[in-house]
Amino acid sequence: MAEVSASARPVTLPVIDPGPPERGDAARNRGRILEAARRLVAERGAEAVTTDDIAAAAGVGKGTLFRRFGSRAGLMIVLLDDDERAHQHALLFGPPPLGPGAPPLDRLLAYGRARLSFVDSHFALLSDVGRDPQTRFNAPNTLHHSHIRVLLEAADTTGDLDAQAAALLALLDADYVHHQTSERGRTLEDLGDAWEAVARKLCGT
């Protein structure tokens, strides 16, 4: 193997298959495409937004969009994933009562309302990305299940914590929430109140 002196080595060398380096305009295009997609999805619902619309709104060519995200589905997954990550960060590291520092029951109740709001505002994306029955019990649901379970335990909840976390999580399922708001005339506040009442009963308060 040929020896290369450290000083002569280009900075990208240690990275395995880095692909073309992301230049400033590539990063800008990526940001623009995500921002345009997020805005259009919010305005029209995911199902009514095409890659043509997104590319036009971002001021980039369609080829650029596909080079950055592979496909329409790929773009939608990145969009949802970005928001899901920010949401999870708020639960785990954000200010109380959602984040650490508040009593566990207060955190649990804050979580229920925050998650309801998230699944409501992201229903179009959640629905669009596609729901394999398998994914219902895997990430990111696993993280949410764990989060509820940890808070139930910290609140000294008795009994089978997995089942109780699953029951609470079911009331935050995107399909369930959408069905309740769109076909049953329930508001997010109704659903938040109902969730709080169930959580309080399970925690024994």
Q: Which residues bind its own copies (CB under 8 A)?
A: 131, 133, 136-137, 158-160, 162-164, 166-171, 173, 175-176, 179, 184, 190-191, 193-195, 197-198, 201-202, 204
Place of tokens 């089978």: 160
Nearest alpha-carbon partner for 138 in 148, 126, 146 = 146
Count of C-beta atoms within a 10 Å radius of residue 108: 26
> Virtual CA dihedral for 150, 151, 154, 156, nearest 10 degrees?
-110
**Closest distance to its own copies from the beta carbon of 202 (Å):** 6
By the 10 Å C-beta count (0-12 exposed, 13-18 middle, 19+ buried), 36 is classed as buried
**Closest distance to its own copies from the beta carbon of 193 (Å):** 7
Structural tokens at position 47: 């199902």
**Closest distance to its own copies from the beta carbon of 158 (Å):** 8
**Closest distance to its own copies from the beta carbon of 38 (Å):** 24
Place of tokens 């935050």: 172
Residue nearer to its own copies on the CB measure, 37 or 165: 165
Residue nearer to its own copies on the CB measure, 154 or 163: 163
The DSSP-derived string for 58-101 is HTS-HHHHHHHHSSHHHHHHHHHHHHHHHHHHHHHHSSTTTSBT
Residue nearer to its own copies on the CB measure, 56 or 198: 198
Residue nearer to its own copies on the CB measure, 28 or 136: 136
**Closest distance to its own copies from the beta carbon of 100 (Å):** 26
Residue nearer to its own copies on the CB measure, 27 or 170: 170
CA angle 6, 10, 15 (to 5 degrees): 100
